[in-house]
Amino acid sequence: MRCLGVLGLLCLLALPAQAATPARRFVVFFQDWSAAIDPSARAVIARAAAWAKAHPHERVSVTGAADRVGGNRANRLLSELRAQVVTDRLTTDGVAERRVRQNALGAVGYEKKSQMSRRAIISVGAP
């Protein structure tokens, strides 16, 4: 094995470093007690899928949430269903299922009936 020498090491150090891909977040909103994907949600998921396919080595996570209306168990199940339908649509749009990790938050702490709570967050490149 040959040694590069000082000049060779300096040349290696001068090479540009690979920039890390910035994490991107996409938010899909749902109606009361629904996990149905409407055209607006479909467009958000399509953008997320395109970003994920352009960055194939990045992790993808989908986190479902619900508002505080209803019981804890029902909200947990609804947030799981929201994460699942978004994951299903991502895979339909070409993201490999093995890349997607799902989480369910259940009821989250926004206003009692806030649309901000009825959501799924798609993160690409997040830890």
Under the banding of pLDDT at 50, 70 and 90, the label for residue 102 is very high
Q: Which domains does the chain show, CATH number per domain?
A: 22-124 (3.30.1330.60)
**pLDDT at site 23:** 82
Query: Rounded to two decimals, what is the model's pTM?
Result: 0.81
| For residue 86, pLDDT beyond 80 | yes
Q: Are the C-beta atoms of 124 and 58 separated by less than 8 Å? A: yes
**pLDDT at site 43:** 98
Under the banding of pLDDT at 50, 70 and 90, the label for residue 20 is low
Strand partners, 28: 120
Strand partners, 123: 25, 61
Percent of the chain residues past pLDDT 70, beyond the cut:
78
CA distances from 125 to 82, 101, 102, 104 (A): 20, 12, 14, 19
